[in-house]
């Protein structure tokens, strides 16, 4: 299910970046949710939706392959544990959104936050973390997780934004299309940019869904049961 969740989260951001021409700036588990409650077992996961557009920044034009790694001078914002290193320096862009997906996947796969980010609450603590961080994933955290999955997460958590996987590249990764990961991604229907509202709503309404935190808690329960 982790690969399926990754594929759907990345698809949502890919659409936001490439079709809507915007960056989210607050990618975290609380801002994703299922369109309907998961049925459990081996049933396919419901569609994952991206919520909360309160910090969305609309770009002059949609992101392309050529501009996918560009950063804009923007004030730091977001949720500290999920903010990319460059965001604290006052720049933000599509790579910063992809960093957030990398942190979420690290949580889904290991039930931990990487790089000591559980201690990240403000600029001062963030500066300390990034000053001593080597940006290497901890293999022991990934016990029982495939090398493909770990390598995929690493591409999203590269130190330099320019070295991070773009949504287009990430969606082509073999891990997302292995057996059990769900069908290949279909490109969204193109929507004319002129049809976008001039100002996106501060918060989109949530359906009565089960958020990704519910999935994390469920996976943690299964992990604990297997270890006992």
Q: Tell me if residue 26 is catalytic.
A: yes
The DSSP 8-state label assigned to residue 104 in this structure reads H
Distances (CA, A) of 27 to 38, 66, 76, 105, 227: 21, 23, 13, 12, 31
Asked whether 97 and 53 are in contact (CB, 8 A), the reply is: no
Rounded Cα–Cα distance for residues 107 and 219 (Å): 10
Q: Which two tokens stand for residue 68?
A: 């996918």
Looking only at the bridges linking them, the beta strands covering 72-73 and 91-92 are antiparallel
- What burial class does residue 5 get, using C-beta atoms within 10 Å of its C-beta: 0-12 exposed, 13-18 middle, 19+ buried? buried
What phi and psi, each to the nearest 5 degrees, are found at residue 210? -115, 115
Q: Which residue has the tokens 């977001």?
A: 78
Rounded Cα–Cα distance for residues 107 and 28 (Å): 11
Asked whether 177 and 184 are in contact (CB, 8 A), the reply is: yes
What phi and psi, each to the nearest 5 degrees, are found at residue 144? 85, 0
Q: Which two tokens stand for residue 201?
A: 């709503």
**Catalytic pick among 26, 52, 97, 209:** 26
Active site residues: 26
């Amino acid at each position: 299910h982790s690969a399926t969740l990754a594929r759907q989260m990345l698809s949502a951001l890919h659409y936001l970046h490439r079709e809507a021409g915007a960056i989210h700036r607050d990618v975290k588990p609380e801002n994703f949710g299922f369109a309907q409650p998961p049925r459990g077992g081996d049933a396919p996961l419901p569609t994952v939706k991206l919520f909360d557009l309160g910090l969305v920044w609309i770009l002059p034009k949609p992101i392309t392959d050529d501009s996918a790694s560009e950063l804009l001078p923007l004030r730091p914002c977001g949720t500290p544990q999920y903010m990319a290193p460059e965001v604290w320096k006052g720049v933000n862009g599509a790579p910063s959104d992809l960093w957030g997906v990398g942190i979420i996947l690290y949580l889904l796969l290991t039930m931990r936050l990487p790089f000591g980010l559980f201690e990240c609450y403000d600029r001062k603590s963030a500066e300390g973390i990034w000053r001593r961080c080597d940006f290497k994933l901890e293999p022991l955290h990934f016990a029982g997780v495939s090398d493909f999955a770990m390598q995929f997460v690493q591409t999203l958590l590269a130190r330099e934004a320019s070295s991070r996987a773009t949504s287009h590249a990430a969606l082509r990764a073999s891990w997302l299309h292995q057996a059990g990961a769900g069908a290949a991604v279909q490109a969204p229907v193109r929507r004319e940019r002129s049809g976008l509202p001039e100002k996106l709503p501060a918060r989109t309404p949530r359906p009565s869904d089960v958020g990704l935190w519910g999935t994390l808690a469920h996976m943690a329960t299964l992990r604990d049961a297997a270890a006992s």
